[in-house]
Amino acid sequence: MNRPLVLILCTGNSCRSHLAEGILRAAAGDLIEVASAGSKPAGYVHPFAIRAMQEIGIDISQHTSKHMNEFLKRPVETVITVCGNADQACPMFPGQVNRYHWGFDDPAHATGSESENLSVFRRVRDEIRCVFEAYAAGRSNEAASLTQRLRQYT
């Protein structure tokens, strides 16, 4: 059975969308398929994003920066934008049922020492984690409720 695709978009697809993709994939397990892309992909995943995720036991080191147009021919159930520019540039995708915008600061714009920059990545990661783990829990509860209702009829 095909799992519904949740696509997370930001402009550069180098930080926020990868943080959200990794967190949502870990939290939702096999319930949904999760991917991320950008309206103007940077072509890399930010090293501090990879480090911040390693600190919470999630490996995004194999993620790649992708353009959102790569998903225009795939059924996308839910689109979640994590920055304002992507929200404005977001097209409709085939099969799209839901669209959410949850904006977060761009940690790539942090200035200061390496330690200060990493601190910003951690803060944004933790904000994203709070929102996307709650979203995954809601999806899980919804699936469990549907399964229970279906059992009543069998």
- The domain that holds 128 is classified in CATH as 3.40.50.2300
For residue 90, indicate whether it is catalytic: yes
10 has catalytic annotation: yes
As separate numbers, helices (DSSP H) first and strands (DSSP E) second, the chain gives 4, 4
pLDDT over 70 (residue 1): no
User: What domain count does the chain have?
Assistant: 1
Of residues 2 and 87, more confidently modeled: 2
Q: SS3 of 99, please?
A: strand
Helix %, strand %, coil % of the chain (to 5): 45, 15, 40
Domain of residue 71: give its range: 5-152
Q: Of the listed 83, 108, 110, 136, which one is catalytic?
A: 83
2-11, 61-70, 89-98, 140-149: least confidently modelled range: 140-149
- 125-145 exposure pattern, b = at least 16 Cβ within 10 A, e = fewer: beebbebbeebbeebeeeeee
CA 43 to chain centre: 17
What confidence score (pLDDT) does residue 84 get?
Answer: 79
Q: Residues with Cβ < 8 Å from 138, sequence gap 6 or more?
A: none
Told to judge if 15 belongs to the known catalytic residues of this protein, a careful annotator would answer no
